[in-house]
Amino acid sequence: MSILVDANTRLIVQGMTGRSGTFYADQAMTYGTDVAGGVRPGKGGKRHLGKPLFNTVADAVRETGANASLVLVPAHNAAAAIIEAIEAEVPLIVCVTERIPVLDMVRVKAALKGSKSEMVGANSQGVLAPGVCKIGVMSTTDAKPGPIGIVSRSASLTSEVVASMSKAGLGQSTTIGIGGDPVHGVGFVRCLELFMDDPDTTGVVLVGEIGGAEEEEAAAWLKARKSAKPVAALVVGRHAPAQRRMGHAGTLSVFGSGNANSKIAALKAAGARVASGVDDLPGLMAEALGRH
Amino acid sequence: MNLYEFEAKEILAQYGIPLPDGRVAQSAAEAEAVAKAMPGHKFAVKAQIMAGGRGLAGGIQMAATPSQVGTIAGKLLGSRLTTPQTRPEGDLVERVYVETAVESEKDFFLAVLVDQATAMINVLGSAAGGVDFEDRVAKDSTIVSALPVRLGGQIADADADAFLSGIGFPAAHLAQGRDIMRAMVKVFVNADATLIEINPLTLTKDGTLCAVDAKMTLDNNSLFRHPEFTGLQSSAAVDEVEMQAQKDEINLVRLDGNIGVVVNGAGLALATQDMLADAGGKAANFMDIRTTATSLQVARGIGILLADPKVKVILVNVHGGGMTPCDTVVEALALALAWSKRKLPLVIRLAGQNAEYALDMLNNRMVAHHRADGIKDAVARAIKLAA
């Protein structure tokens, strides 16, 4: 089993006919994801990659029974595309698009409140249940099915973690990228909730980085919940110069919050095992699973 | 994009936020002339750099006469100011802002930003504005109050009054405070800002409120819909090389070490930097190749490292995936090396999609390199070669 996606996930791709839409829709199908069709205003009735195209998300959902959408729409139209999917009550929306304006995401978050949708991203590599379903742009080369849940803010670092876990014989139930933007969909806490409730996940790896306060929030949640499942964590950016912005917009800190050391301290205090580098994660997790 | 104080104030003035009289100057003579034309007989001369902490670094000085304004401006212009927020060599002062000095009765702090946890616009306020505000907040975060603002940006009178009274606004100034708050939120939304900060918002001895210093940050991701900001001087202050890399779909930040780093993804880039530092090495840059970058664009990014004289070795740490398989980066590397006259030792560590294929490609192109087994090994080799 897995979280957010499973064998019954039926996907539509918003922005399917673009360069990246075509590329990733094709890759998802090759991986075995059930792709029902695509959405591209003005191209309804046509076909792309052998699948039907629709003018609107509502049309696509009604005609195909899709229950998930992958949004690969360019940044200036991405928020509108996400809101369209929310209004069509798509249960899972995954947005990969980078560089969406922050105030657009504020509108998206307001639309999500009280809706029937769960959103992953934007600026996320997506959700992967190895061997079952891929919604996103992540590498699948080294992913193996297994009992470890992985939640992270960064794509290529997740691939690195996945590879080292698989090599150590620790396959994954689901890997999720919550995205690198300051305002985004599901966060660490929501993913921890889902993993803790998933009977087939026995341990969780959390990969954080400088900026924001989500690692601290995750730590507070873990402390209050006292979960039976072990959590291993890695927080990167210990040596990033404090005042300069590195990569993810989420790393912009206001009032000096969000440095790596405070995150590491909070996670340790909540009982998580904190690794100093990717290579240490499998050992920490194996050790934790042995004790539990 | 961070704005200079004078550009932030120009925008705030358009929305009716009260400011002391002031103008920007680029020479000592101009600064003196600006002061002569201004009312009042006390002036502040303020170096225009992006970084905070100017005041304590000598970047804000008071003058009693226009000729003194000219003298101070002459000293500041062309100098470099170093604050905790600049690089060690400091920021070059190309402009000064000359302003009528106000006598403060009380200094407030007002700011607008998006609270990440609730995804709502928030007005922040404090009775303890002024120099060193960040340090005071770090010690005691309760000195700041927050007021969440609805999506449309409206703030009810009662909410505004309660908020302002809570941070010690005198009753007589509530109406003006409300106007300032609302104007700030309006600028924030209309300009697609990510931060507007007025510190201090000064209540003067003669009983008026004015924004003595202002910081404003625009959302880089929104600049496409703001042609009105293309002419800002602030955009010229962005590091040219880093800006060029941005256009090539690469997030680049130049640092002061000697190991040039080529990495895809921000998280992996931060992880690489941590491992380098833990093992005693120093990165010359932070590089995050975005998934949309082509090999030609990546080649230009690697070219920046090859052209940097302090770079002694190049460390490639790529985890192929999505639209950036390893061969894209290797293709780029071969191109960049062909363009450059410089021969630097290369340490290569590839994983993920097309890693084997890309390594074979390196051999076929006869690119001499040190092949690393894992990131730890790559980092150790790079540090040795840079020594």
- Domain final position from B57, B81, B101: B101
Same domain, B132 and B277: no
> Does B15 share its domain with B25?
no
Q: Letter for the amino acid at B337?
A: L
Query: pTM for the full model?
Result: 0.92
More confidently predicted of B246 and B175 = B175
Share above pLDDT 90 across residues of chain B, in percent, rounded to a whole number:
75
CA contacts within 13 A on the Cβ side of A153 = 33
DSSP H helical ranges for A88-213: 102-112, 155-167, 188-197
DSSP label at residue B245: H
Residue with tokens 């249960």, as numbered in its chain: A91
Question: Can you give the residue range of the structural domain that contains B382?
Answer: 240-386
CA A103 to chain centre: 21
Residues B201 and B286 in one domain: no
Token code pair at residue B32: 């003196």
- Nearest CB among B85, B116, B266 relative to A243 is that of B85
Q: Where in chain A is the domain with CATH 3.40.50.720?
A: 10-120
Residue A252's pLDDT is what? 35
Note the pLDDT of residue A249: 40
For residue A240, the chain B residues in CB contact (below 8 A) are: 270, 273, 286
- pLDDT band for position B87 (50/70/90)? confident
Q: CATH number of the domain at A141-290, out of 1.10.1740.10, 2.70.98.10, 3.40.50.1820, 3.40.50.261?
A: 3.40.50.261
Q: Which of B114, B267, B374 sits opposite A236 (nearest CB)?
A: B267
The answer to whether the CB atoms of A20 and B323 lie below 8 A apart is: yes
CB A248 within 8 A of CB A153: yes
Separation between Cα atoms, residue A190 and residue B228, nearest integer Å: 40
B112-146 pLDDT tens trace: 999 888 999 999 999 988 877 877 887 888 889 99
Sheet with A145-152, edge to edge strand ranges: A133-136, A126-129, A172-177, A145-152, A203-209, A231-236, A273-275
Domain boundary among B190, B207, B238: B238
Q: Which of B74, B101, B128 is the last residue of a domain?
A: B101
CB contact under 8 A, A75 and B221: yes
* Confidence check: pLDDT of B41 > 90: no
Q: What is the mean pLDDT of chain B?
A: 92
A248 touches chain B (CB under 8 A): yes
- The pLDDT of residue A292: 52
**Chain A residues 182-211 within an 8 A CB cutoff of chain B:** 182-183, 207, 209-210
What pLDDT is attached to residue A242?
Answer: 63
Residue A253's pLDDT is what? 40
Give SS3 for B358.
helix
Both B73 and B221 in one domain: the answer is no
Q: d(Cα B308, Cα B312) in Å, to the nearest integer?
A: 9
Distances (CA, A) of A232 to A147, A193, A205, B112, B270: 14, 15, 5, 36, 18
- The continuous run of DSSP H or E covering A92 comes out as strand A92-95
Q: Are residues B39 and B126 in the same domain?
A: no
- Of the two residues B87 and A51, the one the predictor is more confident about is A51
**A141 to B189: CB separation less than 8 angstroms, yes or no:** no
Judge if B1 and B51 occupy the same domain: no
Strand partners, B246: none
Q: What is the pLDDT of residue B357?
A: 95
Predicted confidence at residue B290, as pLDDT, reads: 87
My answer on whether B110 and B87 are in the same domain is no
- B281 shares its domain with B341: yes
Whether B210 and B265 map to the same domain: the answer is no
**Would you say residue B57 has pLDDT above 50?**
yes
Percent of chain B with pLDDT strictly greater than 70 = 99
Query: B375, B317 in Cβ contact below 8 A?
Result: yes
A122 near A179, Cβ under 8 Å? yes
d(C-alpha B187, C-alpha B225), whole Å: 15
Peptide bond connecting A122 to the previous residue in cis, omega within 30 degrees of 0: yes
**A240 touches B: beta carbon within 8 Å:** yes
Cα–Cα distance between A196 and B304 in angstroms, integer?
Answer: 46
Report the distance separating Cα A81 and Cα A94, nearest Å.
Answer: 11
CA distance linking residue B255 with residue B285, whole number of Å? 5
Chunked mean pLDDT (size 10), chain A, 292 residues: 94 96 96 98 97 98 98 97 98 96 96 97 96 94 96 93 96 96 95 96 96 91 90 93 52 54 94 94 94 56
Q: How many domains does chain B have?
A: 3
B46 and B161 part of one domain? no
Q: Which residues of B touch A234 (CB under 8 A)?
A: 271
* Residue carrying the six token digits 């051999």: B363
pLDDT of residue A102: 95
Round to whole Å and give the CA distance between A4 and A11: 12
Same-domain status, B13 and B33: no
Of A142, A155, A243, the CB nearest to B265: A155
Confidence of residue B88 (pLDDT cuts 50, 70, 90): confident
**CA–CA dist A138, B320 (Å, integer):** 9
Q: Residue B159 pLDDT > 60, yes or no?
A: yes
pLDDT of res. B85: 73
Do B298 and B331 fall into the same domain?
A: yes
A239 among known catalytic residues: no
- CATH number of the domain to which B323 belongs: 3.40.50.261
Residue ranges, comma separated, of all CATH 3.40.50.261 domains in chain A are 141-290
B240-268 pLDDT, tens digit each: 888 889 889 998 988 889 999 999 989 99
pLDDT score of A291: 60
**Residue A259 confidence (pLDDT):** 84
Domain A10-120 = CATH 3.40.50.720: yes
The mean-pLDDT minimum among A277-286, B40-49, B138-147, B176-185 falls in B138-147
Burial label for B223, CB within 10 Å (0-12, 13-18, 19+), is middle
Q: Please name the residue of chain B whose CA is at the shortest distance from the CA of residue A250.
A: B116
- For every residue of A6-23, DSSP letters joined together read -TT-EEEEETTTSHHHHH
Q: Provide the sign of the torsion angle of the four alpha carbons A118, A123, A124, A125, taken in this order.
A: positive
